[in-house]
Structure 1
Amino acid sequence: MAKTFNNIPLSVLDLAPVLEGGTPEQSFKNSVALARNVEQFGFNRYWLAEHHNMPGIASSATSVLIGHIAGATNSIRVGSGGVMLPNHAALVIAEQFGTLATLYPGRIDLGLGRAPGTDQITAYALRRTLNQRVEDFPNQVEELENYFAGTANVHAVPGEGLDIPIWLLGSSGFSAQLSAQKGMPFSFASHFAPDNTMAALKLYRDQFQPSSRMEQPHAMIGVNIVAADTDEEAKYLATTQQQQLLSIRRGQPMKLQPPIENTDEVWSEMEKAVVEQSANSPYTIIGSKETVRQGLEQLLEDTGADEMIINSQIYDIDARIRSYEIVGELMD
């Protein structure tokens, strides 16, 4: 059967945004509300991402928040998109996710990234050393697998013997190649690295080696979606995401800002061009239900993705829930 957006799994990527004028406490309440709603809308996974030293992102203690969301929902899979493995001892992650999988059997995913998810100063504060190399990441992944398999000299309790799905995440070809070599599912961050997407997916599929986990490659792509009842409303809501991108480009990350009527008041012509280039990416879809439908259909035709995970940086929680509801209606 040909792939369409309503016969492949669609999932949610949540950064637990801290709103301008809000607090992390409110962010967590919003995440619970969103998770409960998207579970009813039919979404497959609810992933949270590890970031540090970011005033607008509250998901730094990722495994703790995964447990909170899993405890507030009933059936949706909950996981990391991802845990930045170089920031942690592999044994600690095995124990944390072993605990989560024991508490919520059959519902926990472990997505792994190799970036720090922060700046270099914060990375040092997390790791106490920056001596780790990119080449160390495959060894860390193997060490983590050994804890789950029970083949390490140290036992992860709980964790040992549990079948926890491990995904590798990436925005370049490195994790695509490693995922292929290990026969693992692969999630590509096309929502913020669109230009590298097709090459990474091809590399993953061309080099995939069947494993006990999977016989065929399985790729998920990230998509930014701001959906509303009209194209005009969606474009207005999307100015929040554009302001966030602008703050990151300036090296001045901030809390999630409310939408604005006139974006020309906040950026220069050069900055406007950069933001508009991102907004015009096929991996960023802004509009009404029909606009979103067309965008998703085109993405699947272009990428052949097996799953899609959706990031919606919308200031108002009700509008954010409505955005996912519109996508859920497309799945129906």
Structure 2
Amino acid sequence: MPVPLSVLDLAHIAPGQSPGDSIAGSVALAQQAERYGYRRVWYAEHHSMPTIASSAPAVLIAHVAAHTSTIRLGAGGVMLPNHSPLTIAEQFGTLDAMHPGRIDLGLGRAPGSDERTTYALRRDPSSAESFPQDVQELRAYLAGESRVPGVQAVPGAGSRVPLFILGSSLFGAKLAAALGLPYAFASHFAPQALEAAVATYRREFRPSEDLDAPHVIAGVNVVAADTTERAQQTFEHVRRTFAQSLFGRGRTFTEAEVDALMSSAAGMHVESMLSCSAVGTPAQVREQVEEFRRRADADELIVAHQARDTEERLRSAELLAEAVQAVPAS
């Protein structure tokens, strides 16, 4: 049976694009994912990043949901230290009220920003320490069983919007297992602890009202193209762009400077971060994705379709779906 596929969309703002262009591309990608049988599309919360337009996942989800019909949409994830549990319960309760049965809520412990952005968000840097308690408070609001006397999420109470714990370490794996929630591992950019975290989660999982057996989602980068050469050219562009974003601190590099960066220790670090990637023609990508699923012991794969522009991203989503799931266009 083909492994279920989902999409992770960071709403990339490509050179020459506006945020509006990027969001229009996200709508097109979700429509493509719906057409080709993907299970869900998630949007990740990032702040103060010039190339990413998904800083407000709930707003983006509402817009995309209004332009799609059946595919599940959610956060992958909301960085809970940046928000109060009640605020997130109300936001996602509102989304569920508007689009019942289609909304997911993935929760991360990282702030998703640097110290200056944390200040601009008016958040306490130590708030990540209360992540387990905040998850349980949020879960209670959505179940209509508030832990704060006299306070309830409206909308949200009783909606039981599905929760997912996101992570890239044993901390998230252990928490998801203890709470009986699905676990999504960020192997698309932080793969080092993948096998250990998944094994820990499966070993320590305790069934809950929400989930009776472990469910692992693993992230993987995919560049599917009509030719191997085209796919490799696109992935090289992605690697170079990622390196500039990671180490450039907002400045523009010359091509020679990027060459030097990629041949340095920094370049090796980027290679390690993007090691969970499938690149090539549909047949090549299918083989690589299946091998990754076995390695990750995953029940579902969430795919970051890496590309230079929206057209390439849509084509990659189409080719992967046809190769792995053999789902024809309607």
Using the size of structure 2 for normalisation, the TM-score is 0.92
* Distance (Å, rounded) in 2 between the aligned partners of 1:147 and 1:277: 39
Other-structure match for 1:138? 132
Amino acid at match of 2:60: L
Report Cα offsets for 1:33-67 as digits up to 9, x if no partner: 11111110110101000000000000101100011
Report Cα offsets for 1:259-289 as digits up to 9, x if no partner: x9x997463521443344445x2x1111111
Report Cα offsets for 1:132-155 as digits up to 9, x if no partner: 242x10110011012112222201
Report Cα offsets for 1:109-157 as digits up to 9, x if no partner: 00000101111110122134323242x1011001101211222220111
Deviation at 1:251, TM superposition (A): 4.5
List alignment gaps of at least 5 residues for structure 2. Answer: none
Matches within 5 A, 1:285-300: 285-300=278-293
Other-structure match for 2:199? 202
1:242 touches 1:275 (CA, 8 Å); kept in 2? yes
Equivalent residues, number: 320
List alignment gaps of at least 5 residues for structure 1. Answer: none
* Distance (Å, rounded) in 2 between the aligned partners of 1:264 and 1:251: 10
SS of residue matched to 1:74: coil
* Distance (Å, rounded) in 2 between the aligned partners of 1:254 and 1:316: 21
Other-structure match for 2:32? 37
Other-structure match for 2:302? 309
1:95 touches 1:158 (CA, 8 Å); kept in 2? yes
* Distance (Å, rounded) in 1 between the aligned partners of 2:294 and 2:319: 21
Other-structure match for 2:144? 150
* Distance (Å, rounded) in 2 between the aligned partners of 1:316 and 1:249: 20
2:110 touches 2:128 (CA, 8 Å); kept in 1? no
Deviation at 1:106, TM superposition (A): 0.4
Matches within 5 A, 1:1-332: 6=2, 8-134=3-129, 136-152=130-146, 153=149, 154-252=151-249, 265=259, 267-270=261-264, 271-279=266-274, 281=275, 283-330=276-323, 331-332=325-326
* Distance (Å, rounded) in 2 between the aligned partners of 1:103 and 1:55: 30
Q: RMSD between aligned alpha carbons? A: 1.9
Report Cα offsets for 1:75-116 as digits up to 9, x if no partner: 000000000011001111000000000100000000000101
SS of residue matched to 1:267: helix
* Distance (Å, rounded) in 2 between the aligned partners of 1:28 and 1:174: 33
* Distance (Å, rounded) in 2 between the aligned partners of 1:306 and 1:253: 38
1:49 touches 1:80 (CA, 8 Å); kept in 2? yes
* Distance (Å, rounded) in 2 between the aligned partners of 1:217 and 1:301: 16
Using the size of structure 1 for normalisation, the TM-score is 0.92
2:82 touches 2:123 (CA, 8 Å); kept in 1? no
1:278 touches 1:284 (CA, 8 Å); kept in 2? no
